[in-house]
Amino acid sequence: MSQADLFASDLPPEPDRESGLKRVEAFAASMGRAYASKRNFDFGPQDRSNISCLSPHIRHRLVLESELAQAALSAHGSEGAEKFIQEVCWRTYWKGWLEMRPSVWSDYKAELADALNVLAEDGVLRQRYATAIEGRTGIACFDAWTAELIETGYLHNHARMWFASIWIFTLDLPWVLGADFFLRHLMDGDPASNTLGWRWVGGLQTVGKTYLARASNIEKFTEGRFAPDPQSLASSAPPLPVHRPAPEPSAIVPGDRWTEGRPAVLWLHEDDLHPESWGLGAADIRCVVFRPDPVSRGASKPGEVAWRFATQALEDGAQRASNLWGVQALACQDASDMIAAAHQNGATHVVTQRPFQGPVADHAQPVQEALEASGLRVARLTRDWDQAFHPYATKGFFKFKTAIPDVFERLGLS
């Protein structure tokens, strides 16, 4: 079996931590110079040997960014691992950038709601949109990526860039509808990486700088799997109009302190499914609560593959927490189920990870308010990784990445 077959047979890895860690181990040897030179090639869904495909695990924190970074450093040293680590840190940069500018997420939601209203009124637009999301545009590469996204819940980074560019500049569709389509179907669907990735392609993120998908670039980096007619793609990419400039960054909200000894419910959500590393030590955890269905990521039905991944990832996290603290894991539909679970188990506190800006935080906010109104004290923790990195996401990635060596030293990564 070739290395490519070996990787293809296990992709995506199962939605649990153990499979994610196996993939980290298997891919560690490829996180060095091979990654730097080959990562931009999209060899197709049958051969993902040049990239880790761990984004669904990282997105749900079944596997941690620090674990990926440490694996790369151990295998290749800081120079050899530089490119891979920078890519891991792109995610952290996007997360920090959005944490400091929450209105960019609310603006996205408002613009999406507007676009959906227009879609409901405008039959011609509706037809063009349907043609795109059903993979019937006649642009072979785009239609293939649509099918791949729906069937596998994953697209290569370069394909995401080409897809978003064709969506915006060739098909002339509203960018927010494309971002929503991705967010619902990607197993790694993430409010920061996705929204800001689409904004970047459209010229809203680095204002005025857009990304144009070129036929020659697609042919080169798919090794000829696709060779679109240049005439079928837009020849220019004028920046989208900026309705509201991104605000100045606000301060990062620090995590709450956790005092051991309080009888607590551990509340798990899909932004962080590794409670073993929350620093809870010998906490008095009385039970684990989690929502059996992942929160909705968009305006309509979630993609089946993404939904299944998140559902099983939640179950995996709950099972591990239940085993670690020797308590029950209870699937709770809403705040009243969680309050009942706390009372039945004699808990006075709830401990959770502070969710990131996005659908999980939108859902968690009223739940937290209901828990607090019932008299429970809620502690929202923040990981050292986020606390150390996010304040650097004030400007562009270039400035951010210069902080990586210092932050790694502070975090003890070597």
| β-strands 349-353, 377-381 pairing | parallel
**Closest by alpha carbon to 148, among 159, 158, 139, 164?**
159
End-to-end CA distance of the chain: 34
- C-beta of 59 vs 269, nearer to ligand FAD: 59
* Residue 386 lies near ligand FAD (rule: CB under 6 A): no
* Residue 371 lies near ligand FAD (rule: CB under 6 A): no
- C-beta of 149 vs 376, nearer to ligand FAD: 149
Which of 47-55, 218-226, 254-262, 315-323 is the region at the interface with ligand FAD (rule: CB under 6 A)?
47-55
* Residue 148 lies near ligand FAD (rule: CB under 6 A): no
* Residue 91 lies near ligand FAD (rule: CB under 6 A): yes
Is residue 268 helix, strand or coil?
strand
176-195 positions binding ligand FAD, by CB under 6 A = 182, 186, 188-190, 193-194
Q: How far is the CB of 118 from ligand FAD (least distance, A)?
A: 22
* Residue 59 lies near ligand FAD (rule: CB under 6 A): yes
* Residue 40 lies near ligand FAD (rule: CB under 6 A): no
- C-beta of 88 vs 115, nearer to ligand FAD: 88
Residue 340 and residue 332: Cα distance in Å, rounded? 10
* Residue 360 lies near ligand FAD (rule: CB under 6 A): no
Cα 359 to chain centroid distance, Å, stands at 11
Two tokens, residue 153: 């819940």
CB distance 210 to 238 below 8 Å: yes
CB distance 91 to 193 below 8 Å: yes
CB distance 287 to 327 below 8 Å: yes
* Residue 58 lies near ligand FAD (rule: CB under 6 A): yes
Number of residues forming the site for ligand FAD (CB under 6 A): 28
Two tokens, residue 286: 């009385």
- Buried-exposed string 362-380: b where 16+ CB fall within 10 A, e elsewhere: bbbeebbeebeeeebebbb
* Residue 297 lies near ligand FAD (rule: CB under 6 A): no
* Residue 88 lies near ligand FAD (rule: CB under 6 A): yes
| Residues found near ligand FAD in the complex (CB under 6 A) | 39, 51-55, 58-59, 87-88, 90-91, 94, 156-157, 160-161, 164, 182, 186, 188-190, 193-194, 197-198, 201
